[in-house]
Amino acid sequence: MRFKQKIVKLSLIDSNDDSFRITTQINSDHLMDSIDNIGVLNLPLLIEKKSGYKIVCGFRRIEACRRLGWTDVEARILDSDTKRLECVKYAIADNSLQRPLNLIEQSRSIDMLYGFFEGVNALGKLLSVMGLPENPSIIKKIKELCHLSGSVQSGILSNTISLAMALELGRLQLEAGECLAKLFQTLSIGLNKQREILSLVKEISLREDISILKVIENDNLQKILTNKNLDRNQKIRKIRIYLKQRRFPVITAAEKEFERNVKKLKLGSGTKLIPPDNFEGTTYTLKLFFKNLIELKNRKASVDALIKNPSLNKILDRRS
pLDDT in tens, 168-225: 999 999 999 999 999 999 999 999 999 999 999 999 999 999 999 999 999 999 999 9
Residues 165 and 208 in one domain: yes
Residues 233 and 166 in one domain: yes
Residues 2 and 87 in one domain: yes
Confidence of residue 320 (pLDDT cuts 50, 70, 90): very low
Residues 143 and 162 in one domain: no
- Check residue 317 and give its pLDDT: 80
Residues 6 and 18 in one domain: yes
Distance CA 223, CA 84 (A): 51
Q: Is residue 106 part of a domain?
A: yes
Residues 46 and 86 in one domain: yes
The type of residue at 34 is: S
Residues 3 and 93 in one domain: yes
> What does the mean pLDDT of the chain come to?
91
Residues 196 and 271 in one domain: no
Q: Are strands 13-14 and 72-78 parallel, antiparallel or unpaired?
A: unpaired
Q: What is the mean pLDDT of residues 76-80?
A: 91
Q: Is residue 234 part of a domain?
A: yes
Residue 288's domain spans which residues? 261-316
Residues 308 and 231 in one domain: no
Residues 68 and 19 in one domain: yes
Name the domain count of the chain: 4
pLDDT of 127 over the 80 cut: yes
Cα 257 to Cα 81, 254, 276, 281, 307, distances in angstroms: 77, 5, 14, 16, 19
Distance CA 69, CA 91 (A): 25
- Check residue 267 and give its pLDDT: 86
Residues 125 and 219 in one domain: no
Residues 18 and 91 in one domain: yes
pTM value?
Answer: 0.76
Q: Which residues contact 112 (CB under 8 A, 6 or more apart)?
A: 20, 88, 91, 92
